[in-house]
Amino acid sequence: MEKKSLRDAYGNALIELGSNYPSVVVLDADLSLSTKTHLFEEVYPDRFFEMGIAEQNMMGCAAGLAIGGYIPFVNTFAVFATGRCYDQIRQSICIPKLNVKICGSSAGLSDYGDGSTHQAIDDIALMRALPNMTVLEPCDANEVVMMVREMVKIQGPVYMRVSREVLPVYTTMDDAYSLGSTKTMCEGNDLVMFAHGSMVMRAIRAAGELVKSGISMRVVNVGTIKPLSIAEIAKHIDSVKGILVAEEHSYIGGLCEAIMGSLSINIPHEFIAVKDQFGTSARNIEDLMEAYDLTEQSIIKSAKRLMNTK
């Protein structure tokens, strides 16, 4: 299956926006080669602002640009975009509901080599808690483009987290996309798994293996984490025997809690998510995902527990 970089897709999507929306400007905090915003800079140098390692100031400048009628896309690693800048996002962007778009790059554990200081396992929780904030995560490169096109249309703050992984392409540019919608990636009747980001890939692979054990698992991509569509989630849980939720984020404050806190569910369920712990360094992403029980095998074991099989 074809794999594509989500970061490259993001950089190229910004160029498309630059052509269609003259008011779009891009800010970065000395990471443009990694976030891929340098691609926008090469085409629109007068609309690109290198802010240096001064993330809080960058958010304040973005707020000012939004007040001036621009649509700023603000970029840095997810851990810095949300944690280091939380006060500025809350006070200067979310309270006045300014039209600022924040992209947290290298989200989750995907910056495997740099360890806990650079791994965002709490960014969704931080951004979900903010009134007026929309929270998104794409599962592949095509969905990055579709989300960026949607972000620019939303009046108000948006946070999108993007994985550093190069992931398989499951969606097509012909797929219908709308804020709050879910997408069924594979059908199943016994269990339903809700996932976002890189865990969609792992869920699909796990579903293929579970068939061999006689377990049918539906995989649902939940790209819009906030506002979470309760109707979209509810339609998938009728008649299933169990629910699984998978995310490359802490189970605290992420999609796991969003789903279980929004619905009155008496169905057996399991979470495949980061426990109450920080990340760490690893030689590669797969070693790290295995250490944190975020693999296809982790999903398979959880599914079999729910079905009471071995």
Q: What digits encode the pLDDT tens for the residues 242-263?
A: 999 999 999 999 999 999 887 7
User: Does the model's pTM come out above 0.85?
Assistant: yes
Looking at domain 183-307, its CATH architecture is: 3-Layer(aba) Sandwich (3.40)
Tell me how many helices (H) and strands (E) the chain has: 13, 14
My answer on whether omega of the bond before 168 falls inside 30° of 0, hence cis, is no
C-alpha span between 117 and 138 (Å, rounded): 23
Instruction: State the residue for tokens 């079905």.
Output: 307
Please check the confidence at residue 211 and state whether its pLDDT lies above 60: yes
Phi then psi dihedrals of residue 160, to 5 deg:
-120, 130
Averaged pLDDT, 278-287 = 97
Phi then psi dihedrals of residue 250, to 5 deg:
-60, 145
- In CATH terms, the superfamily for domain 3-168 is Thiamin diphosphate (ThDP)-binding fold, Pyr/PP domains (3.40.50.970)
C-alpha span between 73 and 159 (Å, rounded): 10
Model pLDDT, residue 263:
77
Task: Give me the residues paired with residue 101 across strands.
Answer: 73, 158
Report the b/e string of 47-77 with b at 16+ CB within 10 A: bbbebeeebbebbbbbbebbeeebbbbbbbb
Model pLDDT, residue 116:
97
Averaged pLDDT, 86-113 = 98
Residue 50 catalytic? Answer: no
Q: pLDDT tens digits for 21-64? A: 999 999 999 999 999 999 999 999 999 999 999 999 999 999 99
C-alpha span between 296 and 85 (Å, rounded): 34
The DSSP call for residue 31 is -
Q: pLDDT tens digits for 178-192? A: 999 999 999 999 999
Task: Tell me the pLDDT of the chain averaged across its residues.
Answer: 96
- What residues does CATH 3.40.50.970 cover in the chain? 3-168
Model pLDDT, residue 307:
93
Work out the pLDDT band at 309, boundaries 50, 70, 90: low
Model pLDDT, residue 261:
83
Model pLDDT, residue 133:
98
62-76, 120-134, 258-272, range with the lowest pLDDT: 258-272
Work out the pLDDT band at 306, boundaries 50, 70, 90: very high
Q: What angle do CA 191, 2, 35 make, to 5 degrees?
A: 95
Q: pLDDT tens digits for 122-167? A: 999 999 999 999 999 999 999 999 999 999 999 999 999 999 999 9
Instruction: State the residue for tokens 């915003």.
Output: 37
Please check the confidence at residue 14 and state whether its pLDDT lies above 70: yes
C-alpha span between 254 and 250 (Å, rounded): 6
- What residues does CATH 3.40.50.920 cover in the chain? 183-307
Query: What are the Cα distances from residue 93, in Å, to 53, 61, 160?
Result: 20, 10, 15
Query: Which of these is catalytic: 16, 41, 42, 55?
Result: 55
C-alpha span between 231 and 263 (Å, rounded): 10
What number of other Cβ atoms are within 10 A of residue 297's Cβ? 14
Work out the pLDDT band at 17, boundaries 50, 70, 90: very high
Please check the confidence at residue 310 and state whether its pLDDT lies above 60: no
Helix (H, G, I), strand (E, B) or coil at 75: strand
